[in-house]
Amino acid sequence: MNAHEIDYRIHGEEMQHVEIELDPNETAIAESGAFMMMEEGIQMQTIFGDGTPQQGGLMGKLFSAGKRLLTGESLFMTAFTNTAVGKKKVHFASPYPGKIIPLNLAEMNGKVICQKDAFLCAAKGVSVGIQFQRKLGTGIFGGEGFIMQKLEGDGLAFVHAGGHVFEKTLAPGEVLKIDTGCVVAYTSDIDFDIQMVGGIKNTIFGGEGLFFATLRGPGKVWIQSLPISRLASRVLSYGALGKRKEEGSILGGLGNLLDGDGI
């Protein structure tokens, strides 16, 4: 294996964290802000990109790290290396309620494509890059699905998803239609495209957006029930209204008064 061979254990139910056990000189990489805790003997170092060997020296590293800006991530990642004699553990936490998904890239033809904010951590040697969708319709209308992350290598990687996570294996030619924000990750043999919702009533009154993703097998896809964008918009809508949206004006005002918020 080119990637470090790490052991892991996932703790928790709705607010999970992953415990990674490192042998001496083994390294795990993680997004900035994912770190939770570690045992003494692990050295933490900020690095450009994902730490995989780059061609072209410093410029190659800068180019690789710079591509991460397109996915909304930091130029830097953090590497955690066991410099002690025995095994040591480091923990990484999920940023919001949901599930952590372990992906063994060696069993998935060495490549998985995921949403740009899904990657959490991985064994050193896993390459974290960007994936542009090739089809014009996907590029123009895909929204969250236009620029995605690609995880390449033969090691373990961990991604995070919101709510409940459902893994589905598609047979050759089998098609699945999904809300674009609910797609967490899929294997490289999946054909990904964006399709417009049909019917003018669906478009105007459906409330589900104008487009959805179509995935054609064979391959695996991971689906989340609660995209962070959906959760954030709901929280913001309640905060902006300052009262209970589901109640009428009289009951809503009474409820706010009872809560101590005034009318």
Please give the distance of CA 250 from its chain centroid, rounded to a whole number: 42
Q: Tell me what pLDDT residue 202 has.
A: 47
CB 158 within 8 A of CB 102: yes
CB 80 within 8 A of CB 41: no
Question: Can you tell me the mean pLDDT for 160-169?
Answer: 91
Is the model's pLDDT at 65 over the cut of 70?
Answer: no
- Give the pLDDT band of residue 218 (cuts 50, 70, 90): very high
Domains of the chain: 7-226 (3.60.160.10)
Percent of the chain residues topping a pLDDT of 70: 69
Within a 10 A sphere around the Cβ of 231, how many other Cβ atoms?
15
**In this structure, what DSSP letter does residue 188 have?**
T
Measure the CA–CA gap between 71 and 128, rounded to whole angstroms. 11
The SS3 of residue 116 is coil
Instruction: Give residues with Cβ within 8 angstroms of 136, minimum separation 6.
Output: none
Could you tell me which of 102, 74, 92, 118 has the C-alpha nearest to residue 29?
92
Tokens of 76: 């830097």
pLDDT in tens, 72-96: 556 778 999 999 999 999 999 988 8
Burial of 221 (0-12, 13-18, 19+ CB in 10 A): buried
Percent of the chain residues topping a pLDDT of 90: 42
pTM value? Answer: 0.79
Q: What is the mean pLDDT of the chain?
A: 79
